[in-house]
Amino acid sequence: MSTLWSESCISFVNFKKTPEQFFIAEHQIDCGNARAYLKENGIETVQYVQDKLPNLTELAEEIISLGNSFIVFYVNKDNYLLSKTLTRHIKESEEDINIVWFGPLKEELNIDSLVDAKTDAYISFEYETGIINLFKTDRTQWDSIDEVLTGTFQTANVCQAKACSSLDFIPSPYQTKLIPVDKAGAAGVMIGRGPDREAFFSIERISSDLEFLNGRNKKGQEVPLKLTARDLSRHPEYDGLLQMLESKAYQFAYEADVSLGCLTVRMLEQLVKSGIRRLNLAVADAAALGKIEECSGKMKELAVSGKVEFRFLFECGGLDEEAMLNNLKFILTEGITGIENTTISTGDKSDSPKGLPKRSCISGKGLRDYIAHYYGKNFKRKVLFHENPLINGFDSYMTGIYGQSNLNGFTKHVSVEKEELDVDQYEKLKEYMSINSAVYVNTPAASEGAPIYSEGSSIIRQENPVFDKNVQAAKQANYCLEHLLTIEDKNRHYELKIDDYYRAEPLRLEVKKYSEAKMNSDAPLDFIRIENESDLESFLEEVDYFISTGRFNKSYLIPSFLVDSCRWLDNCSLTKLPRFRLADDNQILPCLDCNKSVGSIDDMQFDVIQQTYVLTEEEQLKRDCDSCTAADYCSKCAMLPEFLSSERYCEIRKQRPYISYYINIVNLLKFLKRSTGTFRDIRINDVMVSSKYVSYYTGHVDHIGETEYFHQFVNLFIINGTPVFYMPLTGKVYKLTEHLAVIMELMFKGLSVDEIKGHLRDMYKLGDDQIIKDFNAAVELFANTGSLKRAVI
Ligand code: SF4
Ligand code: SF4
């Protein structure tokens, strides 16, 4: 946990949903403002900050352990369910702690009671004075405070406190060091607050914050920064504000929200001059729609030239869907924006299982058909941006490979062979699962014809009854289920639906036996499995072929993932229990190719984790891993499939010390093919990997030394005769000259510096001075890219 901790009286909590749809506990501008105001009034506060959220119990304990009996949650539509669930957890364990909510809850959710949430009070505006008044007043008297709502209330009865038009009484959260400067990109600089009671900062105050932040920017680097306001153009000194931004020309790429209804071509020009690079346009009525055509020429010019990115938020409750459809078609076909940058909400039809306001469904056939067509045309087989993190999680679940930094002692993925877990199971699972975890259920994901909607973000969703039922059951267990993969098993062919994300076609994947696998370009996700001795032989043949040639015999291996790959690596995550299959009798089966249980969810999580340690240690004692030559590079897999005895496993691992290297190279190539231009379109047969086992240029040098010069993941690839190397630290692919590649190969072989120079002399017939110069230059280049693990010269 990382917190900015000091002697404090009030803890602030804000859960932010990242674009990848995971929660982090993060700084937030309203929290920063309130904290700055409290500080000025002699009240110290602390913000809970955590990017790896544990399970609910641990999370509640972490927040309680900050030591304050007054906790303030910033609550909005995104984090409502999590805030509510956590509030109940805290209250159940410490009834005396005061919990206060503030934020745009009233306008976003229309709630009329805090009783169910167990929150003691809610502040809907004038947050700073509200919090301070609550803090200074005994809880029994809270009802009498103007800005505050307690217990059950009707939104119509919301008290009308005096409006404040200037926010300048609030000190800067940046200049008071309550929000670190490097968080400004995410937290933004506040321009104004609203909409019910609009209040703004003055130009001087805004400028002072920008000046302060700009002074801490790296020279020449444009930093994204959101100017936070309901509508930038409603600032009372709007023209002056833009002039200030233009004249100061700070190093920021600003993002701002503006109502489309007031946009003009002149305004667009002014905004661009002021440094606005991303514009979120709210389309609230028919008049606003008219502006799209009026400004389209300018918008197109700005979008096409890359000067401004436009996002459209169509939130026309009463607007004719036909008109919206025409405008949507227009902005997409004109290239003003992409569908991933449009949020569409129209009617108000179905209930949300999360207790959010009714979903705004897209009911008109024309609009639905267009969205289906657009998603079908553009995203048929592609994994969408918001699906990507969950697909990566699914890959981890299948392979058993989890980044060490992602393992926080709580389970990330649980799969069941049925479509729904009951309340009791969620009650038990919540002790195991971290906040950002996902449940995988096995059932058809058919939702054809179901309502389409978006919940205030650009993600188009489609009602998925399986998702809704699971969210409901989890909610009854006071657990907040965010992610669910629906997997339909069609005999080694699977169809996947993620959460309730809309897609025109389901994601398809196949799981093949290793010995029978073939390339299948239709399936974007493929897994291969070692299920019997013949598969194992096939796998070992491939490993040996690669090690002796540096090449791959079967090109389908690169796009495919090997199920339970962790077994062949140097690390096992069993004792962290990041994944498990949950059997019908609640038994926990932690690995995919092995049906051994490590306990039941009816047991305490602590006991189950203990059992994984016992099992691991017993196996290692039995095999005498401590005195084994393979100990450093073997994962010591304790969950072997039935056909594979521990004797056979150990024999393979000892005879082939390079298996984990092979698996790592396959995974690296998979990554490079997905993420780099150099590798994207190459045929895998055209790649050779040069290593200490096999060399492209220096194959004649068979002496292998002891020295390891390079970090583990530095590799030399020869693509159709061109040497390139990938440096994970920088994420870059470097093309090398042949001369440099030769030096690299000789270093891979672990030869001493004198031996390397000797070989260079023999190969190139150069004088000593030139050899030293070339070698030193190569070492300097490798050092500059962060590739070397030790000093060489
Ligand atoms: S090869 Fe066998 S004995 Fe050696 S470390 Fe691996 S599991 Fe242990
Ligand atoms: S026990 Fe084996 S299969 Fe399971 S996580 Fe460890 S290495 Fe992977």
Residue 777 lies in a domain: yes
pLDDT at residue 57, rounded to an integer: 92
CA 62 to centroid of ligand 1, rounded, Å: 39
| Same domain membership, residue 477 and residue 440 | yes
Pocket test for ligand 2, best of 635, 642, 646, 659 (most atoms within 8 A of CB): 635
Instruction: Report how far residue 199's alpha carbon sits from residue 190's, in angstroms, rounded to the nearest whole number.
Output: 11
Q: Residues of 291-319 as b/e, b for ≥16 C-beta within 10 angstroms?
A: bbeebbebbeebbeeeebbbbbbbbbeeb
- Ligand 2 neighbour 591 (Cβ under 6 A): yes
Give yes or no for residue 247 having a pLDDT over 50. yes
Q: What is the pLDDT of residue 368?
A: 79
* Statement to judge: residues 372 and 507 lie in one domain: no
637 CB less than 6 Å from ligand 2? yes
Question: Considering the domain boundaries, does residue 666 fall inside one?
Answer: no
Of 379, 413, 448, which residue is a domain's last?
379
Report CA(616)–ligand 1 centroid distance (Å): 12
| Rounded Cα–Cα distance for residues 577 and 407 (Å) | 9
Q: Which residues pair with 123 in a beta bridge?
A: 102, 148
* pLDDT at residue 606 greater than cutoff 80: yes
The most confident of the ranges 217-221, 254-258, 668-672 is 254-258
- Span 500-507, mean pLDDT? 83
Atom in ligand 1 nearest the alpha carbon of residue 635: 6
Do both 573 and 700 map to the same domain?
Answer: no
Q: Which residue has the tokens 């440096």?
A: 727
Residue 448 within a domain: yes
Whether 168 is covered by a domain: the verdict is no
The whole-number average pLDDT for the span 60-87 is 93
Q: Which amino acid would we find at residue 710?
A: F
What average pLDDT does range 539-568 have in this prediction?
Answer: 90
The pLDDT value given to residue 463:
85
Mean pLDDT of the chain: 87
Question: What's the pLDDT score for residue 534?
Answer: 94
Between 166 and 285, the higher pLDDT residue: 166
Whether residue 637 contacts residue 572, with contact meaning beta carbons closer than 8 Å, is answered with: yes
Q: Report CA(527)–ligand 2 centroid distance (Å).
A: 17
- Residue the block writes with tokens 């067509």: 373
Same domain (yes/no): 279, 405 = no
CATH of residue 254:
3.80.30.20
Average pLDDT of span 33-46: 96
**pLDDT attached to residue 377:** 63
Same domain as 695, residue 605: no
Between 30 and 683, the higher pLDDT residue? 30
Checking if the pLDDT of 593 tops 90, the result is yes
My answer on whether 209 and 271 are in the same domain is yes
> Lowest-confidence range among 81-95, 140-154, 260-274, 641-655?
140-154
Least confident of 345-354, 432-441, 587-596, 732-741: 345-354
**The pLDDT value given to residue 159:** 42
398 within ligand 2 shell (Cβ under 6 A): no
Domain annotation covers residue 198:
yes
Residue 364 clears pLDDT 90, i.e. is over it: no
Q: Are 320 and 374 within one domain? A: yes
Whole-angstrom distance, CA of residue 38 vs CA of residue 523: 56
Decide if 540 is inside a domain.
yes
pLDDT digits (tens, 9 = 90+) for 408-433: 889 999 999 999 999 999 999 999 99
Q: What is the average pLDDT across 598-621? A: 96
**Beta carbons within 8 Å of 308's beta carbon, 6+ residues apart:** 268, 271, 272, 276, 277, 278, 279, 299, 302
For ligand 2, is residue 447 a contact (CB within 6 Å)?
no
Distance from the alpha carbon of residue 600 to the mean position of ligand 2, in angstroms = 18
Q: Does ligand 2 have an atom closer than 6 angstroms to the CB of 638? A: yes
The upper half-sphere exposure of residue 774, i.e. CA atoms within 13 Å in the direction of its Cβ, equals 22
Q: Would 450 be classed as within a structural domain?
A: yes
Q: Are residue 507 and residue 630 in the same domain, yes or no? A: yes
Residues 6+ apart with CB under 8 A from 714: 725, 726, 727, 728, 787
201 pLDDT band, cuts 50/70/90, is: very high
209 lines ligand 2 (CB under 6 A): no
Q: Are residues 218 and 254 in the same domain?
A: yes
What does the block give as tokens for 26? 């993060």
Residue 653 Cα, ligand 1 centroid: separation in angstroms?
7
Q: Which atom of ligand 2 is nearest to the CA of 566?
A: 8
| End residue of a domain, out of 125, 157, 189 | 157
CATH number for the domain spanning 102: value is: 3.40.50.2300
Q: In what order do the strands lie in the sheet with 732-735?
A: 687-690, 715-719, 722-727, 732-735
The ligand that comes nearest to the alpha carbon of residue 593 is: 2
Looking at residue 152, its pLDDT comes to 56
Distance CA 272, CA 246 (A): 9
Output the ligand 1 site: residues, CB below 6 A: 623, 625, 628, 630-631, 634, 636, 650, 653-654
Q: Does 162 reside within a domain?
A: no
- pLDDT category of residue 158 using cuts at 50, 70 and 90: very low
Average pLDDT over every residue of 356-381? 71
* Residues in contact with 96: Cβ distance below 8 Å, sequence separation at least 6, in sequence order: 69
Domain that holds residue 424: 388-655
Per-residue confidence (pLDDT) for residue 154, from 0 to 100: 44
Tell whether the model's pLDDT for residue 6 goes beyond 70: no
Q: In ligand 2, which atom is closest to the CA atom of 593?
A: 3
The amino acid present at 790, given as its one-letter code, is R
What pLDDT digit, counting tens, does each position of 706-752 carry? Answer: 888 988 778 899 998 899 988 777 778 888 899 899 999 999 999 99
Q: Which of 655, 690, 705 is the last residue of a domain?
A: 655
Q: Confidence class of residue 155 from pLDDT cuts 50, 70 and 90?
A: very low
In this structure, the answer to whether residues 68 and 152 fall within a common structural domain is: yes
Higher pLDDT, 412 or 7: 412
Among the atoms of ligand 1, which is closest to the Cα of residue 653? 1
Coarse DSSP helix, strand, coil percentages of the chain, rounded to the nearest 5 percent: 40, 20, 40
- Identify the residue with better confidence: 152 or 12: 12
Torsion of Cα atoms, 639 then 640 then 642 then 646, to 10°? -120
CA pair distance 664, 662, nearest whole angstrom:
5
Q: What is the per-residue pLDDT across 443-475, written as a single tens digit (0 to 9) for each?
A: 876 667 787 877 666 788 888 889 999 999 999
Cα 757 to ligand 2 centre (Å): 44
Are residue 595 and residue 700 in the same domain, yes or no?
Answer: no
Give the pLDDT score at 577.
96
In this structure, the answer to whether residues 194 and 305 fall within a common structural domain is yes
For 165-179, 640-654, 660-674, which range has the lowest pLDDT when averaged over its residues?
A: 660-674
pLDDT at 114 over 80: no
The pLDDT assigned to 621 comes to 97
Determine the atom of ligand 2 nearest the C-alpha atom of 616: 1
Residue 245's pLDDT is 94
Which among 80-89, 109-118, 195-204, 340-349 has the top mean pLDDT? Answer: 80-89
Domain count across the chain? 4
